[in-house]
A and B are shown apart, each in its own frame.
Chain A
């Protein structure tokens, strides 16, 4: 779990993406009270139990599909991205992981106190890279590392590679599903952009100043 902001704050923030602040706080405080835990004492270990309590509460406000989505995002706060010596690692296997990637990036930006414009760039970059990985590759990982007032993003997948990279980076290619613009967009958003691709896989390295 990321240090700096409490688990309670992270969960509350997640709830506020779909509920009004009053309802989000009310639902969360009731769930935490039923667990007999003080909000400030909450840790990621409490997350599974919290998810169970919230599942019932959220049905008052959201339809089942959205509830699942929100709970999934909250669950990823408890057990999700692995922190390894300051690096947050996100596994991307399919579309649901794109949401987890955004949540991890959002939480990291909160923890690091990133400026709002920097955070927006980072979230967008992570979303683009995660989406491309989920849609076009057989899977991969995205590492987020903070160093020297910059966020380093390293996205590596296992194939099959991008065949018309020159066209894409030259702005000459737009697929129907927007693949081209995503990568070009990432390049334009970041301050350093390095991409290598082959049938064995693709790696994208981007940096954003915090």
Chain B
């Protein structure tokens, strides 16, 4: 069992990384290594780093997270940073931190929708009269 609190969650072809609490320097390094390894190995379409569990983001954590997102993007994975609280957003803006070139969203849900993953519209099934199984077959063919 890993000793770190790092938690990488696979959602189909998207990798979700929810950060929690305070991140020590060694943990930050490990985060970067593990995420990039996973990105390299599985080649997800998207990476979402969620910051809503972090109460303080200083310039160091900023640079760790932005480097991670940029490196993943270089490897072909669209990267999103999500979950900035109003206080953190204003603080980072005042400090002059630039997230240029990186995608940020308010929530994990918004980033997922950007990647084409969202709630299923149940009314579609009723209209065609198809069972969920048949609808999925149809979708597979289209993909």
Chain A residues with CB under 8 Å of chain B are 17-18, 62-66, 69, 95, 99, 102, 116-117, 119-121, 123-124, 127-128, 131, 171, 177-178, 181-182, 184-185, 188-189
Contacts and interface: CB of A to CB of B under 8 A. Distances in A.
A65 B26 CA distance: 12
Contact of B56 (A63, A117, A123, A178): A123
Given A18-B21, A182-B60, 11 more contacts: A63-B4, A64-B3, A66-B21, A121-B91, A123-B56, A124-B58, A124-B91, A178-B63, A181-B96, A185-B59, A188-B96
B88 A69 contact: no
A65 B62 CA distance: 23
Nearest to B20: A18
Nearest to B55: A17
A117 B91 CA distance: 8
A66 B4 CA distance: 7
Contacts of B60: 131, 177-178, 182
Q: On chain B, which size bracket covers the interface?
A: 20 to 34
Contacts, number: 81
A116 B85 CA distance: 11
B58 A184 contact: no
5 contacts: A102-B56, A117-B90, A127-B56, A181-B59, A185-B58
Interface string B1-28: 1111100000000000000111011000
A189 B5 contact: no
B94 interface: yes
Interface string B28-64: 0000000000000000000000000001111110110
A5 to B, nearest CB: 17
B122 interface: no
A120 B90 contact: yes
B3 A63 contact: yes
